[in-house]
Amino acid sequence: MSLPLSNTDPDMLEVGHGPESRRIAMRVLKAKSGNSLPTLVWLGGYRSDMTGTKAVELERHAAAAGAACIRFDYSGHGASGGAFADGTISRWLEESLAVIDHAAPERMVLVGSSMGCWVALRLIAELRARGQGETVAGLVLIAPAPDFTSDLIEPNLSDAERASLSERGYFEEPTPYGPDPNIFTARLIEDGRQNRVLTGIIETGCPVHILQGMQDPDVPYAHALKLMEHLPSDDVVMTLIRDGDHRLSRPEDIARILAAVDAMAAG
């Protein structure tokens, strides 16, 4: 049974200084007293927010288990401040780190969706560099899109899109997920090159479960297979869903995701 979610306003966290300052909206569900399960941390996709189906179901699942859960919106997304056009992987990574530092979970399972998987992989690299890698109990990566700017966007740019990037600093692309087009900026693409992860072995130090739809029109499942090739030393499981799309938000998809989360939390 679905549990009711709070209707209160999200908490706000100030990230950055001076002109780079922005307010990040977050919801932190506390664990029940005595519960030792890892905190579930949601990392959303490009232009998605923490009110999406998967994020809400993750929190409901955490509440039912008595576990803690963290949801938040990147700058330029949802209830957070900042301009979407200023967004980059580096900027959204900084915000993700700030939220985790603020909530300070002892152990956590990172659950990323699409671009959020890229953020998750960069996040665990930063935590490991700090000597905090052991705080991550596992990664659940849904339709992972690491390096999507360099691997999926740049090679397929039309002449008109390249001209728009050069002249206007961005180009637009229709999307089936809403009335407004996707906007990809030159800043995002340039920063993406500096944050690539599919360049060598990815050391996570924890189990990884990838869930990928084979009918995904945005991130082909070959991209998830490529990611697996860069995770040779880790405990990695991939679930290919033959009729699954990019969102993987159907009830049966949600069930698979939550089962993967439970396996990580129990480990």
Residue boundaries of the structural domains of the chain? 11-266
Q: Residues 35-64: pLDDT tens digits? A: 999 999 999 999 999 999 999 999 999 999
Only one residue has tokens 């989360």, namely 261
pTM for the full model? 0.95
pLDDT, averaged across the chain: 95
133-146 in b/e form (b: 16+ CB < 10 A) is: bebbbbbbbbbbbb
Q: Residues 222-256: pLDDT tens digits? A: 999 999 999 987 799 999 999 999 999 999 999 99
Report the candidate in 139, 144, 161 with the shortest Cα–Cα distance to residue 46.
144
State the angle between helix axes of 89-103 and 186-194 in degrees (0 to 180), rounded to the nearest 10. Answer: 70
What CATH number does domain 11-266 carry, 3.40.718.10, 3.40.190.10, 3.30.70.270, 3.40.50.1820? 3.40.50.1820
d(CA 247, CA 156): 22
